[in-house]
Chain A
Amino acid sequence: MTVSPLQGITHACFGLSYLLAFGLELARPAWPAAGWRAAALTAGAAGFVAHTLYLFIHHPTPAAPYGSLLWLAWVLALFYLGGTVRHAEQAWAVFVLPVVIGLVGLSLALTALSPDLPAFDLPGWLAGDRFWGVVHGSLILLAAIGVSVAFLASVMYLAQARRVRHKVNPARVVPLLSLERLETMNRRAVNLAFPLLTAGLLVGSFLLRHDHDVDSWLSLKVLSTGGLWVVFLVLLYLRYAADVSGRRLAWLSIAAFGLLLVALGAAHPFVQVRSAEFGIRIEDQAGRPGLDRDSAFRIPHSAIPGGRA
C-alpha cells in the first residue's frame, strides 16, 4: 500500500510552525522591519495548512480529548490568521498563538498518555448515523469556540486595562484593541456560547439518562462542563443584572476557559459508553471494527503520527 507523504504530518509540524510564528511576532517590537510580519504570517499560515491536512487525513473525533483540543486549536488558528490580517498593527497574534500552541501541546500530551486514539467516522456521520451524539458534540465544540474567544478577549482586556490604569505611553507599546471593542467581543462570544452550551448540555443529559449510566454523571467531564455552565450563568447575570467592572468579568471568562480545558481534557464518558452514538470508529489491534467498551479496541498508535508504536 502506498503511503502519502501527507500521512507523515504530525502535531510537531504545525505546533512548531505556530511556535515559530509566535517567536517572530515577539521579535517584531524589537526589530520592527516589515519582513518580520510577513515571515510570522507565513509560518503561521504554514502551520494552519499542516494542521488542516492533519485533521483532514486523521479526522480525530471531537468527542475524545485529543481530538476536541485539536479541533478547537484549528478554529483558533483560523481566528489568529484572520485577526492578524485584519488588525495588522495590533498585538493580536501574541495573545492568540500561545492558546493555539497550548491546545496543540495539550492534545499531544493526551495523545501520549491516552491508550485510545479514536477516529471520527466521517462517512457514518455524513450519513446521519448517531444524530444526537453528533449534535451534542457539535454544540459543545461551538460553545468551546465561544468560550475561547471570550477568554482571548478577556486576556487582551486585562492587558489593555493594565496599560490604561498605569497610564503607559501608548506609543511605546504594540497597540491592542480598545477596551470597548474587547468588551464587545467578550460579550458577543459569551452570548453566543451560552445557548450553545446549554443546548449541548441538555442533549448530553438526555443521552446519559437514556443510558441509565449513573456513574458518568459524576465524571470529571460532566462536572466541569456543568461548572462551566454555572460560570456562564454568573457571567451573564453580572453583565446584565449587576454593575460589575469589566476586569471582574474578564477574570470570570478566564475561569470559564480553565473549566473548558478541564472539560475538554477529561475523558469523555461517551467515548467509552456511547461510542456508537458519536459515530466513533474504534478498531482493535488487528484493525477489526468493534464497539465493545470493555475490550481494548482502539486506533493502533502506530497509525497515528507521533503516537506510540
Chain B
Amino acid sequence: MNLRAIGCNVASAAVDLREKLAFDDAKRSRALAELAARYGAEVVVLGTCNRVELYLARPEVAGPVHAPLVAEFLGEAHGVPADRIQPHLYEHADAAAVRHLFRVAGGLDSVVVGEGQIAAQVKEAFEAAQQAGAAGPLLNTLFPAALRVSKRVRTETGIARGNVSVASAALVFVRQVFDTFADKTVLVVGTGKMGRLALNHLREQHPAGVLVTSRTPERAADIAAGCGGRAVPWDQLDDALVRADIVLSATACTEPVVTRRRFDEKVRGKRGGRKLVVFDMAAPRNFDPRIHDGDRVSLFNVDDLNAVREEQLAERRRHVGPAEAIVGAEVTRFVSDWNRRQDGPVIGRLTAEVDKVRDAVVGPLLEKLNGRLTAADRERIEGAFRLFQNRLLHGPIAALREGGGEPHGGTLREALMKLFGLKG
C-alpha cells in the first residue's frame, strides 16, 4: 500500500488559512485532474468547513507523495505561499492514513464528536473523484470501506445519539410542547446570529409563517426576505408576540425587552390560552424569566440549550472508546485484505519466475543425460527439483502471507520483488 492522507484541519490550521485552501466544485475538479496527472496518483479531495485533506495513492513501486509536494500544489492552486501552508499540514501514511479516514468518516475527528454530516461529505468527495476518473483500485476500495465503518460506528455505538447543536436542542424542547409546526408562526426578535441559526433549523420543519422584527428595520427586512417571512415594525412587537407560537430572540439590548409586566398586560391575555415557546438566546436576556410557567409559556435561555448540548456531548464522548475499537478492527481488516489482494499476483509471478529458472536448469540436464535415464528416473529428478523449489519458496511466501495484516506487508512484498527480480 502506498497511501498518504495529507491536509489540515481545525486543530492544525486557523480558520483564515482553511478558508483560503477551501475547494469549490470547479477548483476541486481541476485539482483532481492536475494531481492525478502530475503524480500519477489516485486522488480524493475532501473539503469541509473544518478540514482540507488530500488522499493520494500510488503504485507501490513508485515513491509516495509527501507533504511538501502537497503544500506546493495547494500553494499554486490557491495563491498562497507553500511555506505558509506546510507547517500546518499533517501526513498519515498507509495504515495510519486508513485509520485517519475511518476516524474522519466516523465523526471521531470532528469538533462535535459523532456529527453526522461528515459521512455525507466523505461520500460526496469520493463521488467527485470517481466522476473525474481520479479514483483507482485502492481509493475505490478504501472509501466505500470508510463509509461502512462510519455506519458501523454510528449504529453500533451511541456516538451519534442525541442532538448536539444549540439549534437542534431548541427543536427538542419545542417538540415537548408542540406536535406539529404546519400551523405555527415563528417570530424572530432581533438579528443575532444565534437566532438566525435556530431559525434556519426550525424552517426545515415548515412552519406556517415567519415574522421578523428588529430595531433596525432594514436588517429585519433582509432576514425576512431571506427566509420567506414578513418584517414587523419594532413598535408592533407586542402584537407579534400575541400571534407567535415560537419566539427566537437574540437582540443586543442591555435591558430586558419583554418584562413580566409587559407580557402579562399586553400579551398573555390576548393569546386565548395558546401555548408559546420562547428561546431567549441573548446575553443579557431579552425576556423576563418569570414569564415561564411550563404550561402556557415555556421560556428557555441559552444556558438551558447549552446544558442539553453539553450533556449530549458528554454522553457521546462515553462512546468514543468502543467507536475507536471498531475503527481499529476495521483498519486491520482493510490492510490485511488489501495486502492479500496485492500478494496474490506477486506470489503468482514469483512461482512462474522460479518455474522458468527450474526449467532452464532441469531441461538441459535431462537433455545431457538423455538415453541413460528411464522414464521413472526423469520423473524422480523433476520431482526433486520441484520439491527443492517449493521448499525454497515456502519461507518467503509464508512470510508474505503472514505479513498481510501488518503495516509492513507492502515493504516485504517490495523486498521480495527486488530479491527475485520480479517486475511491478
Query: A residues near B, CB below 8 A?
Result: 160-167, 169-172, 176-181, 184, 243-247
B374 at the interface (CB under 8 A from A): no
Contact A170:B295 (CB < 8 A) given known A179-B275, A180-B275, A243-B273: no
Which 8 pairs, one residue from A and one from B, show the smallest C-beta to C-beta distance?
A165-B294, A181-B179, A164-B294, A178-B179, A180-B179, A171-B162, A170-B172, A179-B177
Q: Are B315 and A179 in contact (CB under 8 A)?
A: no
Tell me what chain A mostly uses at the interface: helix, strand, loop, or mixed: helix
Q: Are B173 and A162 in contact (CB under 8 A)?
A: no
Q: Which single residue of chain B is at the shortest CB-CB distance from A162?
A: B294
Q: Are B295 and A171 in contact (CB under 8 A)?
A: no
Q: How far is the CA of A170 from the CA of B169 in the complex (A)?
A: 9
**CB-defined contacts of B292 to chain A, threshold 8 Å:** 165
**CB-defined contacts of A163 to chain B, threshold 8 Å:** 176, 294
Query: What 0/1 pattern do residues 173 to 187 of B give for CB contact below 8 A with A?
Result: 101111110000000
Query: B residues near A, CB below 8 A?
Result: 161-163, 172-173, 175-180, 269, 272-273, 275, 292-296, 298, 300, 304, 307-308, 311-312, 315
Whole-angstrom distance between the Cβ of A158 and the nearest chain B Cβ: 10
Whole-angstrom distance between the Cβ of A212 and the nearest chain B Cβ: 46
Q: Are A178 and B294 in contact (CB under 8 A)?
A: no
Q: How far is the CA of A96 from the CA of B41 in the complex (A)?
A: 64
Whole-angstrom distance between the Cβ of B80 and the nearest chain A Cβ: 42
Total A-B pairs, Cβ < 8 A: 71
22 A–B contacts, CB within 8 A, in A order:
A161-B295, A163-B294, A164-B173, A164-B177, A164-B298, A165-B293, A165-B298, A167-B173, A169-B308, A169-B311, A170-B175, A171-B162, A171-B172, A171-B311, A172-B311, A176-B176, A178-B175, A179-B176, A179-B178, A180-B178, A243-B269, A245-B293
Q: Which single residue of chain A is at the shortest CB-CB distance from B184?
A: A180
Q: Are A177 and B294 in contact (CB under 8 A)?
A: no
Q: How far is the CA of A277 from the CA of B2 in the complex (A)?
A: 92
Contact A170:B173 (CB < 8 A) given known A178-B178, A243-B273: yes
Q: Are B307 and A169 in contact (CB under 8 A)?
A: yes
Q: Which single residue of chain B is at the shortest CB-CB distance from A250?
A: B295
Q: Are B172 and A245 in contact (CB under 8 A)?
A: no
Q: Which single residue of chain B is at the shortest CB-CB distance from A240?
A: B273
Q: How far is the CA of A123 from the CA of B133 in the complex (A)?
A: 80
Q: Are B177 and A180 in contact (CB under 8 A)?
A: yes
**CB-defined contacts of B173 to chain A, threshold 8 Å:** 164, 167, 170
Whole-angstrom distance between the Cβ of B116 and the nearest chain A Cβ: 16
Q: Which single residue of chain A is at the shortest CB-CB distance from B171?
A: A170
Contact A177:B293 (CB < 8 A) given known A167-B300, A169-B307: no
Q: How far is the CA of A247 from the CA of B293 in the complex (A)?
A: 10
Q: Which single residue of chain B is at the shortest CB-CB distance from A164?
A: B294
Kindly list 11 other residue pairs between chains A and B, CB separation below 8 angstroms, not including A169-B312, A177-B179, A178-B179. A164-B298, A166-B294, A167-B300, A169-B307, A170-B172, A171-B172, A171-B308, A171-B311, A179-B295, A243-B269, A247-B295
Q: Are A245 and B311 in contact (CB under 8 A)?
A: no
Q: Are B296 and A171 in contact (CB under 8 A)?
A: no
**CB-defined contacts of B295 to chain A, threshold 8 Å:** 161, 164-165, 179, 245-247
**CB-defined contacts of A247 to chain B, threshold 8 Å:** 295
Q: Which single residue of chain B is at the shortest CB-CB distance from A171?
A: B162
**CB-defined contacts of B298 to chain A, threshold 8 Å:** 164-165
Q: Which single residue of chain A is at the shortest CB-CB distance from B178?
A: A180
Q: Which single residue of chain B is at the shortest CB-CB distance from A239?
A: B273
**CB-defined contacts of B312 to chain A, threshold 8 Å:** 169, 171
Q: How far is the CA of A96 from the CA of B344 in the complex (A)?
A: 63
**CB-defined contacts of B275 to chain A, threshold 8 Å:** 179-180, 246
**CB-defined contacts of A243 to chain B, threshold 8 Å:** 269, 272-273
Q: Which single residue of chain B is at the shortest CB-CB distance from A242?
A: B273
Q: Are B176 and A170 in contact (CB under 8 A)?
A: yes
Whole-angstrom distance between the Cβ of A28 and the nearest chain B Cβ: 15
**CB-defined contacts of A161 to chain B, threshold 8 Å:** 294-295
